[in-house]
Chains A and B, each alone.
Chain A
């Protein structure tokens, strides 16, 4: 019963605002633990034909099965948390994940993200509505952003000039800078 590794796998998720890199090592340790427990159950189950032990093995088999189910629950919770985060961040970033976020995903999660993106875009084409953009109604006219990478001068939709100098904090309209937010050049505060 390896509680320590299971806890570590879940606590790992709390180390990042978005997601930490997929912890292959710990995840496969839990899988190995899971498979080892199943083999032990099979070994104990073979003793069911012994009349002395037939009754004695029942509680331990039930407990070991509960332990296996617990490991499964931990692994599923880990995967579900990551998938839900990917989906919610996709809509927060208006239909795209930034390259920084994509770097934190495992290969399977990257495939999942591509599949999810295709599914959403197909749905948008079918209903002729952009559901991935601005799904959260804006509570503010302007948003405060910090410029992470030098962008320079841009022209806004109103025709004004905006100087996005590295290191500055500015009040801007989200529609003017959405592309830079998705790229990661700007960060919303």
Chain B
């Protein structure tokens, strides 16, 4: 996982964080914070990559957590209900190409027994993500293997991987069915293959 590019790109997704302590020379975290002395004050709201937000939420200064992390809108109750109702119509890639991985990482940051406003809990979030992936994989990829490739842009990275695997299996099955790979002689003249 250390060298995994998808993992690194997924963790660079920005999340909103609120600083709970005064941070000396903390302005390197937020380029848009124009401070004279380079310090950030308690209460400052900024967007941090998920990996940094996770580290800061686990660290303490004087017994206080450095930041509190806002749950992303796409993992709040309202959005998750839409996903429960009909996951195929939701454009997940627009929100993040690593939607599922991001969801699991956010769920890992919250204890299972914690209940927040507009958030249904880490356990429920994981269940929703798994169900959404199952339903989308079956319906959306089945349609794509039959038809248009431009709809590929609507899939997240996990779904694209499943799509390419499904396509490969379909092609191999068709080749096996036609016994194309077992012909001892090249029955089709070369020019006809070109036309095909």
Contacts and interface: CB of A to CB of B under 8 A. Distances in A.
Contacts of B66: 59
Interface size class of B (residues with CB under 8 A): 35 or more
B181 A169 contact: no
Given A142-B181, A170-B186, A171-B183, A10 B8 contact: yes
Given A59-B66, A170-B186, A170-B190, A3 B12 contact: yes
Nearest to A44: B25
Contacts of A13: 5
A179 interface: no
Interface of B: 2-5, 8-9, 12, 21-26, 28-29, 49, 51-52, 55-56, 59, 61, 66, 172, 175, 180-184, 186, 188, 190-191, 193-194, 196
B5 A77 contact: yes
B3 A66 contact: no
A171 B193 contact: yes
Given A11-B9, A60-B23, A76-B3, 17 more contacts: A1-B28, A10-B9, A40-B28, A53-B24, A56-B22, A58-B61, A59-B23, A63-B26, A66-B55, A67-B52, A73-B2, A77-B4, A140-B181, A141-B182, A142-B180, A163-B190, A169-B194
A60 B26 contact: yes
21 contacts: A3-B12, A11-B9, A56-B22, A58-B61, A59-B21, A59-B61, A63-B29, A63-B56, A66-B52, A76-B2, A76-B3, A77-B2, A77-B5, A77-B8, A140-B175, A141-B181, A163-B190, A168-B190, A169-B196, A170-B186, A171-B193
A67 B183 CA distance: 58
Contacts of A34: none
Contacts of B29: 1, 63
Closest 9 CB pairs of A and B: A140-B181, A56-B24, A80-B3, A77-B3, A169-B193, A60-B25, A168-B190, A59-B61, A10-B5
Contacts of A170: 186, 190, 193
Contacts of A163: 190
A60 B24 contact: yes
